Amino acid sequence: MEISAGLVKELREKTGAGMMDCKKALAETSGDFEKAVEFLRKKGIASASKKAGRATKEGAVTSYIHGEGRVGVLLEVNCETDFVARTEQFRAFVKDIAMHIAAAGPQWTNSDEVPADIIAKEKEIAVAQMQASGKPAAVLEKIAEGKIKKFYEDNCLVNQVFVKDPSKTIEQLTKEMIATLGENIAIRRFTRYALGEGNKAEAAQEGNA
């Protein structure tokens, strides 16, 4: 069924959840507003969004080694208090995120970190690929936007589908953990190492010398 933008906006104002979360909740509940509110609360998204502005100065830095030493991840995840940082649930969440990074290989934490020149280049490529189709410029622009969205989903950690549960993204998983623990949580930064990547770069430089 068609979900009106007005209803999505109203749900967002009531719950503090994101636009896409609100739209999904309304779709899942056939447009029933109260059931959509309940859906968001059960998922922990409504309460999580209200905590998003809180400062996160505690947390944990963890390392994860995968594939008998072929892939390694160093990750920092923050929360509000040392008490939560020491809980098994928080530690398990941090480990899950590190495992996901090892498996999925994101390049950035979120879309804000992607350099503008890379996005411009991706958009240019997308438009160039479609120009021969004869579609109007406005349509090409929409298609390009869709391709950029897919680029974020492939390369930005929070936009990626969680490898252990494809029904949710890392952002949704984080919101659920915020609701469970009652504190704001932020995936701050990470570095991923894959055996041989540095050697490939060095080999390329030698080849260009």
29: CATH: 1.10.8.10
Q: Is the confidence at residue 2, as pLDDT, over 80? A: no
For residue 39, being part of any structural domain is answered with yes
Do 177 and 122 belong to one domain? Answer: no
Per-residue pLDDT at 201 exceeds 50: no
Question: Would you state the pLDDT for residue 160?
Answer: 97
Q: Using alpha carbons, list the distances in angstroms from residue 191 to 41, 74, 90, 154.
A: 33, 5, 20, 17
- Mean pLDDT, range 105-133, rounded to an integer: 88
**Does residue 208 lie within any of the structural domains?**
no
Between 2 and 8, the more confident residue is: 8
Statement to judge: residues 63 and 38 lie in one domain: no
Say whether pLDDT at 131 is over 90: no
Please name the amino acid found at residue 148.
I
More confident residue, 90 or 182: 90
- 207 occurs within a structural domain: no
* Residue 198 and residue 160 share a domain: yes
What integer is the mean pLDDT of 190-196? 93
* Same domain for 27 and 127: no
Residue 98 counted as domain residue: yes
Residue 104 belongs to a domain? yes
Least confident window among 52-66, 113-127, 195-209:
195-209
Residues 101 and 174 in one domain: yes
pLDDT surpassing 60 at residue 202: no
Q: How confident is the model at residue 205 (pLDDT cuts 50, 70, 90)?
A: very low
Q: 166 and 105 in one domain?
A: yes
Query: Is 189 part of any domain?
Result: yes
Q: What's the pTM value of the predicted model, to 2 decimals?
A: 0.69
**pLDDT one-digit tens code per residue, 40-51:** 777 666 555 556
Give the pLDDT of residue 166: 93
Banded pLDDT at 82 (limits 50, 70, 90): very high
CATH of the domain at 139: 1.10.286
- The interaxial angle of helices 170-181 and 88-104, nearest 10 deg, is 170
Domain span at 162: 58-111+156-202
pLDDT value of residue 203 = 43
The pair of structure tokens assigned to 58 is 């505690």
Assess whether 13 and 36 both reside in one domain: yes
Looking at the fold, whether 127 and 104 belong to one and the same domain comes out as: no
Domains in the chain: how many in total?
Answer: 3
Tell me, yes or no, whether 79 and 96 share the same domain: yes
Are 93 and 165 part of one and the same domain? yes
Using one digit for the tens of pLDDT, what is the confidence trace for 10-30? 887 776 666 777 888 899 898
Is the domain of 104 the same as that of 160? yes
The CATH number of residue 95's host domain is: 3.30.479.20
The two tokens of residue 134 are: 């004869």
Looking at the fold, whether 64 and 106 belong to one and the same domain comes out as yes
pLDDT for residue 78: 95
